[in-house]
Amino acid sequence: MKYFFSIIIATLNNRNSLIECINSINSQSFTSYEVLISDGGSVDKTASLLSVDYVRNLVWSKTGKDKGIYDALNIALSNATGEWVLVLGSDDSLSDIDALARANKQMYEQTIQPPFYYSDIYIKSRHGIRLKTYPSIKKFEEMYSGGPFFHHQSVFFKRTSLIELGMFDMQYKIHSDYNLLLKANRLMPARKINSAFVIYSDDGFSSSVRNIIPSLFEIIRIRSGAGIFPLPLRIFAIYLKMLSIKLLKVFS
């Protein structure tokens, strides 16, 4: 069976959040999707969820040691067959029951298919859920000195383009997704589709307190390797704000 979407999830010891993520997928009105879950060897009974009885359209899963998030995603991606790939964290979720239906309709209507589409995104924090809106790709590139700064949860990747680009580069431990997005956008500028389809949790791996500084240095390294200005003021301000918020949360 040919699926329109492949939904890929990497998880480790995050069973309760994964249940919410799976429930948001199971409830979708649009059903031309497959689910692939790569569990890094959780000890919280995550493995008991990895069955077609619990996850609708689950076509592949594994539980066991891997070399980190991007290795887990690459393993899952190599088993995907859908036309377009959505990568979720286990603490993310689809925004509503028609999220995939709305995305499919807009993508199907496009005359030109870039390596990826992007959209607005909902961001969930301890203060609630807010809508993050992105500009057109031309404006986006101007804002970030040639390297638009996407949340990968807002992106639908063309699967064949991911394969051609070599999938996620394992030398980057935190932002291999950003590296991949920059490479894809250089092939052909991304296109924005309207609305938001995913609720992203800002408590994920890359935004944890211990990873904020290494995350910034990795962004600088990726941008330098891409031949673009390594640290625009806008990105520096994002990280400064992120660090302030996380520190306030720790000490409050």
Instruction: Quote the pLDDT of residue 28.
Output: 98
Domains in the chain (CATH in brackets) are 5-203 (3.90.550.10)
Residue 232: pLDDT over 60: yes
Mean pLDDT value across residues 89-108? 97
- Over residues 208-219, mean pLDDT: 86
Ordered DSSP codes for 23-69: HHHHT-S---EEEEEEE---SSSGGGG-STTTSTTEEEEEES--SSH
The pLDDT, as a whole number, for residue 243 is 82
Cα separation, 125 vs 127, in Å, equals 5
Encoding tokens for residue 26?
Answer: 């199971």
Q: Range with the lowest mean pLDDT among 16-30, 43-57, 192-206?
A: 192-206
Residue 252 has pLDDT above 80, yes or no: no
Q: Which of 132, 128, 78, 96 is CA-nearest to residue 23? A: 96
Of the given ranges (27-36, 64-73, 168-177, 202-211), which has the lowest mean pLDDT? 202-211
Mean pLDDT along residues 171-190: 95
Residue 178: per-residue pLDDT: 97
- pLDDT of 20-38, one tens digit each? 999 999 999 999 999 999 9
CA-wise closest residue to 62 among 81, 31, 86, 38: 38
Could you report the per-residue pLDDT of 110-166, keeping only the tens digit for each? 988 999 999 999 999 888 999 999 999 999 999 999 999 999 999 999 999 999 999
- What pLDDT does residue 249 have? 67
Report which of 233, 245, 252, 173 is spatially closest to residue 209, judged by C-alpha positions. 245
Give the residue among 180, 200, 221 at the shortest CA–CA distance from 85: 180
The pLDDT mean for the chain works out to 94
Q: Model pTM?
A: 0.94
pLDDT band of residue 82 (cuts 50, 70, 90) is: very high
Residue 181, classed as helix, strand or coil, is helix
pLDDT of residue 251: 65
